[in-house]
Copies of this chain bind each other. A is one copy, B any other.
Amino acid sequence: MAKRDNISSSVVRRLPRYYRFLRELDAKGISRVSSGELAKRMSSTASQVRQDLNCFGEFGQQGIGYSVAQLKDEIAGILGISCGYPAILVGAGNIGTAIANQVAYEKRCFELVGIFDSDMRKVGTVISGITVSHTDEIERFCREKDVVTAIICVPKGAVEELADRLYGCGVRSFWNFSHFDIGMKYDDVTVENVHLSDSLMQLCFRIKRSREDN
């Protein structure tokens, strides 16, 4: 039914947002939504929305819109939300703790199975029900649990050695909060970078430009 192979990367970038909005509508008991309403929420156009959603099947019906539940489930399936890939998090500082809580809370996409830190003061503490282990345990743990993804919340200087170790025990995907470019080193890994300082610089640029315009 779905024409999944044709989904472009720009559509993929928008899918999580569609999913979030549809989930909100579903939680409110709203069962149908028009392309116009979706467009307003996506800061897009109705025609763009129809084109995006057409990538993975024929859902909308002229005049009555899309079934919220059906569309939400289809997007969830495409994104792989119920996959529950085993993930570990390394670096239990403030950002690591916040991310661990979020991943454990969302219970989507990944199952957080381990948290690691090299600081003995953190080892043994509990975050989201998971006891923090020492980073020396990573290799043994990854092999036992068949870990798919590592969430990297350690300082930049510690990432390269850590990534080498994780790669060595089969981890091929990373959610990377550091500035070390993991994807530059290996060509068979999937890396999603969260560069908070890039986001901050973009905000700064946009404020500066809006002030220059006024």
User: A residues near B, CB below 8 A?
Assistant: 12-13, 15-17, 19-20, 41, 43, 78-81, 83, 85, 93-95, 97-99, 101-103, 106, 108-110, 148-149, 172-173, 175, 179, 181, 183-184, 190, 192, 194-208, 210
B102 and A197 contact, CB distance less than 8 A: yes
Chain B residues within 8 Å of A181, by CB: 41
Q: In the complex, A170→B181 CA distance in Å?
A: 38
Q: In the complex, A39→B102 CA distance in Å?
A: 35
Chain B residues within 8 Å of A199, by CB: 16, 175, 192, 194
B102 and A202 contact, CB distance less than 8 A: no
A205 and B98 contact, CB distance less than 8 A: no
A173 and B203 contact, CB distance less than 8 A: yes
Q: In the complex, A16→B198 CA distance in Å?
A: 5
A110 and B175 contact, CB distance less than 8 A: no
One of B79, B110, B210 near A205 (C-beta < 8 A)? B79
Chain B residues within 8 Å of A80, by CB: 204-205, 207-208
Q: Which 5 A-B pairs have the closest CB atoms?
A: A80-B208, A109-B204, A94-B98, A16-B198, A192-B203
Q: In the complex, A135→B201 CA distance in Å?
A: 26
CB closest chain-B residue, reference A100: B94
Given A148-B207, A196-B194: A201 in contact with B108 (beta carbons within 8 A)? yes
A207 and B173 contact, CB distance less than 8 A: yes
Q: In the complex, A196→B106 CA distance in Å?
A: 11
Nearest CB of chain B from residue A15's CB, rounded to whole Å: 7
B175 and A205 contact, CB distance less than 8 A: no
CB closest chain-B residue, reference A17: B198
Given A110-B204, A201-B15: A190 in contact with B175 (beta carbons within 8 A)? no
One of B16, B79, B205 near A195 (C-beta < 8 A)? B16
